[in-house]
A and B are shown apart, each in its own frame.
Chain A
Amino acid sequence: MTDTFAPTTRFAVPGRIAVSNRAAAVWQTATLTEIRRETPHASTFRFAVPGWSGHLAGQHLMLRLRAEDGYVAQRHYSIASHPDDTGHVELTLDHVEGGEVSGWFHTVAAPGDTVEVRGPLSGFFAWPGDRPALLLGAGSGVVPLMSMLRQHRARRLSVPLRLVVSARGPEELIYAREYGAETTTVFTRTAPQGVPVGRMAAAHVAPLLAEQPPGGWEAYVCGSNGFAEHASRLLVEAGQPVDRIRIERFG
């Protein structure tokens, strides 16, 4: 039996793109060129990576730091910048309590410092910009979704894109100045006067599925596991097919 195997069960979410394995295998030097504060707990770090092969919105990279005694710490981070920002990548990192890598970025790192990166990695969560995109994110889960939104704008794409982004409050909303009419913000703890406070709900998601474009949405969900479980359930209950929901969870 040598025929191609396909499971008898429903296929969840087929991969979208061919990934360059050669680019993913090579560690490259990334030079920090700029740090921009986004919120009290998150900043954007811009790097020059001259040999960067390019990426698709939604992909991530692996980053490593090395101590003098040879100790190495490596982490996966979603890429925030859009694919046409040639030779550069931007990462937006939360300052994780006790985090050895995010702690270094938030307390030590300065322009001119160098780190090492490999990527882009994984095609599963990538959005090539071809199909209507419905994006649900919470906290720093908005980072790969912002790469998609930036690409949508930079290339003046006509394909529909909608973003629902959740944050604890306005001061915790990453990229607050960049959202436009495509975005709905949800505040879970504090909100400006007259704006409701609460969890992302069917009322935010159902109207977007009611007005879905021909061929339907590709849904992308990114955030903590708790948020991902909640948001993906909202999508399913509103009628989004499970095999057109991609989920990226922190961890």
Chain B
Amino acid sequence: MHVTRGFTGRPRVPDAGLPPGQYDAGDDWPVLSAEVTPDLAPTDWTFRVDGLVEEPRTWNWTQAHELPASAYEGDIHCVTSWSKFGVRFGGVSLDAFLDVVRPHASATHVVAYSHTGYTTNLPLSDVTGGRAWIAWEYDGRPLPAEHGGPARLLVPHLYFWKSAKWIAGLRLLDHDEPGFWEQNGYHARGNPWEEQRYSGD
């Protein structure tokens, strides 16, 4: 890689929390959805888990809130290069939903889909073990619609396009099935620490 003449860049702030190629967006939280923000009230929101499970199930807003509350405090990383530190989301761990539906041993991947029809694919192991949430609060307040409210998927250890906004459901599969951005050239897994931005990275 060659040096760019006269380029110094912003002051170096060593930060072990910043994955390669990312910068700290500070207080900004850019909105990057590719579709029209849906007009979705909490009373119209539902979340379904089906596919390779013992007992497919749909939760409405009230039923989902009866599951044990769980929070995420930490960092998020967008493929467009910004990272945001110390965010606080509230919701329910995805494990709580999966415990109810009981995944088959053959399930290896999920497709998460939105009320808009947006899709994204993830290995099942990336959304279990306390690493994924259905989130409806940000910083103690209802999640704004443009950020995926009333509820979004939250998988903070992967690039944020995996954290589907306006989450409508998960389907468990025995194979990987590319989602919306993954069909448009983006990486199947999207691990920011390995800089898996595009297919082929």
Q: Which A residues fall within an 8 A CB radius of B?
A: 1-2, 4-5, 7-13, 15, 19, 21-22, 24-25, 27, 29, 62, 64-69, 71-76, 100, 104, 108, 113-116, 121-125, 225, 228-229, 232-233, 235-236, 242-243, 245-251
Contact = CB atoms under 8 A, between A and B. Distances in A.
Closest 4 CB pairs of A and B: A251-B30, A19-B185, A25-B200, A7-B113
A66 B7 contact: yes
B114 A12 contact: yes
B37 interface: yes
B36 A242 contact: yes
A5 B2 contact: no
Contacts of A225: 30-31, 146
The secondary structure that dominates the B interface is loop
Interface of B: 1-10, 12, 21, 23, 28, 30-38, 51-52, 78, 80-82, 111, 113-119, 146, 168-169, 171, 173-175, 177, 180-181, 183-186, 197-201
A25 B80 CA distance: 15
Given A1-B174, A71-B9, A73-B7, 9 more contacts: A5-B171, A12-B114, A12-B116, A19-B199, A104-B4, A236-B36, A242-B116, A247-B35, A251-B80
A66 to B, nearest CB: 5
A68 B3 contact: yes
A144 to B, nearest CB: 13
Nearest to A118: B198
Contacts of A245: 35-36
A251 B185 contact: no
A15 B183 contact: yes
Contacts of A72: 1, 21
Given A108-B5, A108-B6, A15 B180 contact: yes
Contact of A104 (B6, B32, B171, B173): B6
A21 B113 CA distance: 24
B157 to A, nearest CB: 21
Contacts of A235: 36
Contacts of B175: 2
A251 B82 contact: yes
Given A9-B116, A67-B3, A247 B34 contact: yes
B177 A9 contact: no
A235 B35 CA distance: 12
Contact of A2 (B81, B174, B197): B174
A117 B185 CA distance: 16
Contacts of A1: 51-52, 173-174
A1 B183 CA distance: 21
Nearest to B48: A8
Nearest to B201: A25
Contact of A5 (B30, B81, B173, B181): B173
A193 B30 CA distance: 36
Contact of A22 (B10, B115, B183, B200): B200
Given A1-B173, A10-B116, A25-B200, A66 B3 contact: yes
A145 B14 CA distance: 38
Contacts of B199: 19, 21, 24-25
22 contacts: A1-B52, A4-B177, A5-B51, A9-B168, A12-B35, A13-B35, A24-B198, A25-B200, A27-B1, A66-B4, A108-B7, A114-B4, A122-B181, A122-B184, A123-B184, A125-B34, A235-B36, A245-B36, A248-B34, A249-B30, A249-B32, A249-B33
A235 B80 CA distance: 26
A197 B163 CA distance: 39
Contacts of A233: 36
Contact of A67 (B4, B36, B81, B173): B4
Given A108-B5, A225-B31, A21 B36 contact: no
A121 B198 contact: yes
A10 B6 CA distance: 50
A15 B184 contact: yes
Nearest to A72: B21
